[in-house]
Amino acid sequence: MEKAVIVTGAGGFIGSAVALAFGAAGDKVMLTDLNPARLPELAGTINRGPGQAIFSTADVREYREIKRVVDETLQKWQRLDVMAAVAGGGYARLSGKKDKPLLDYTDEDWDLVVDTNLKGVFESIRASAPVLVGQKHGHIIIMGSGTGLKGEAKRALYAAAKSGVNGLMKAAARELGEHNVQINVVNPGRTLRPGDADEKGVFADESRLVQENVLRRIHHDASQTASFFVHLSRMNDVSGQIFNLDSRILM
């Protein structure tokens, strides 16, 4: 049966792939992002296929905004089956500036990265979980990062936020499980975006990233992650887990 899905961060590289995958599966998809630029086109693509889509601008750091998105989803489709909490990103992506050493980050930098990646997930859970609990079914699928497991130089704030996401998910899984609500984290692996390549088509740190992977290759698109989100949303007995979707050994 088709599902009613909210995808936060739907305007992003991975978020849009996740949204399209749910649409291709015939689901009803609410697209939300702080930046609405890509949402109309994305909704149009989904609406030309087997799925349905609507969109609404929201900042996941603000409970009232993500709660409004949940309410709009319920008004449109009378249910919510999946909260796909994809919104987030590292300091460089969020600020447009370069990552920097831990001691060079400021309080404002911390607030930007941690609020977007950790508080945003908290608010997404807080807004959607009461609906899922009331239905006695539903999935919350959170975008994580291997950086939250292994750490990474110059990405301390992102590592802290994503590590916090893992702990938040596990605690929420224990509380929500008795209501048949499933919650998991998906680590997509280092997904290379087209804009990450230099003028010669070489990706920064590509050689190092390849060496970290036991299969000696890395993702060049988001399709595997997107497909896994859809697959996980169809599973009935999995909760409280962290899934790593690449060949790095992180733990």
**Catalytic residue numbers, as ranges:** 158
Spatial CB neighbours of 84, under 8 Å, sequence gap ≥ 6: 5, 6, 7, 8, 18, 22, 141, 143, 229, 233
Assigned token pair, 2: 């088709």
Q: What is the dihedral of CA 213, 163, 156, 144, to 10 degrees?
A: 50
CA distance 43 to 31: 7
Helices 13-24 and 223-233, packing angle to 10 deg: 50
Contact criterion met (CB below 8 Å) for 187 and 232: no
- The type of residue at 169 is M
The strand pair at 4-8 and 28-33 is best described as parallel
Burial (CB < 10 A; 0-12, 13-18, 19+), residue 16, is buried
Q: Which secondary structure element, helix H or strand E, spans residue 7, and what is its range?
A: strand 4-8
